[in-house]
């Protein structure tokens, strides 16, 4: 389920900030100079073919590091908000489990069944697997039409996977815990990427000094 939440959290973060993040094509003139300058680092002792290859790799690497840094900087506030909301939701659910309880009756039973199937499929096969995609289709149909429409071939028993989910809730405590952990991982990545960007920029500055 960790893979499911990490992927979901990344998608949420990218979607949330898409409206204001700069496109990767808008590289500043300073960054363009930096990329060209850095492409020459460490290539003096290599042959022409290897030099061209290394130049291309260095340009791509610097571009990607700068792009990742900008993206992570843009998501910083959204990530903070997601973590806070996930923490608050978890606290509320722990204080009163009835808040997220799916309930009873035919409609609730259909939703509960497909929620369990989707969580199990993601746990067992990964969030991007064929099984998970089919389970998500069933879940969406159950949520929209209140009908149980399941593929017998991809039916999973909750007993077959680790019982760390609460299947009577769509968003359970484990999902929220994994979301918080995923945000922490993204924030850690952001700090390391910033250090690497600064390292590359400093290397360029040192080469440009007379």
Which band of pLDDT confidence, cut at 50, 70 and 90, is reported for residue 52?
A: low
Return mean pLDDT, the chain. Answer: 76
What is residue 131's predicted lDDT score, i.e. its pLDDT?
86
CA atoms within 13 A of residue 150's CA, in its CB half-sphere: 17
Residue 2 has pLDDT above 90, yes or no: no
What is residue 157's predicted lDDT score, i.e. its pLDDT?
55
Beta strands in 56-190 (DSSP E): none
- Mean pLDDT over 88-103 rounds to 94
What does residue 171 show for φ and ψ, rounded to 5 degrees?
Answer: -105, 100
Cα(69)–Cα(23) distance, integer angstroms: 13
- Mean pLDDT over 133-151 rounds to 76
Tell me which DSSP letter residue 39 carries: T
3-state secondary structure of 101: strand
CA atoms within 13 A of residue 120's CA, in its CB half-sphere: 18
Burial class of residue 196 in the structure, from the number of CB atoms within 10 Å of its CB (0-12 exposed, 13-18 middle, 19+ buried) = middle
Cα(155)–Cα(178) distance, integer angstroms: 24
- Mean pLDDT over 99-121 rounds to 87
The CA-CA-CA angle for residues 183, 134, 111, to 5°, reads 75
The total number of residues written for the chain in this structure: 210
């Amino acid at each position: 389920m960790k893979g499911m939440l990490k992927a979901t959290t990344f998608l949420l973060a990218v979607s949330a900030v898409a409206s204001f993040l700069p496109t990767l094509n808008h590289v500043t003139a300073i960054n363009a100079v930096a990329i060209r300058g850095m492409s020459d680092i460490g290539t003096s002792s290599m042959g022409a073919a290897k030099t061209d290859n290394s130049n291309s790799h260095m340009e791509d690497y610097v571009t990607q590091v700068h792009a990742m840094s900008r993206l992570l900087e843009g998501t910083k506030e959204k990530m903070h908000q997601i973590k806070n909301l996930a923490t608050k939701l978890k606290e509320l659910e722990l204080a009163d489990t009835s808040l997220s309880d799916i309930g009873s009756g035919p409609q609730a039973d259909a939703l509960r069944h497909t929620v369990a199937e989707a969580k199990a499929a993601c746990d067992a096969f990964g969030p991007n697997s064929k099984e998970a995609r089919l389970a998500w289709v069933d879940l969406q149909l159950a949520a929209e039409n209140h009908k149980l429409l399941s593929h017998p071939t991809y039916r999973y028993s909750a007993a077959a996977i680790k019982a760390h989910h609460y299947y009577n809730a769509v968003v359970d405590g484990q999902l929220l815990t994994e979301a918080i952990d995923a945000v922490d991982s993204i924030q850690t990545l952001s700090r390391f990427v910033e250090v690497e960007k600064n390292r590359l920029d400093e290397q360029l500055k040192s080469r440009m000094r007379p």
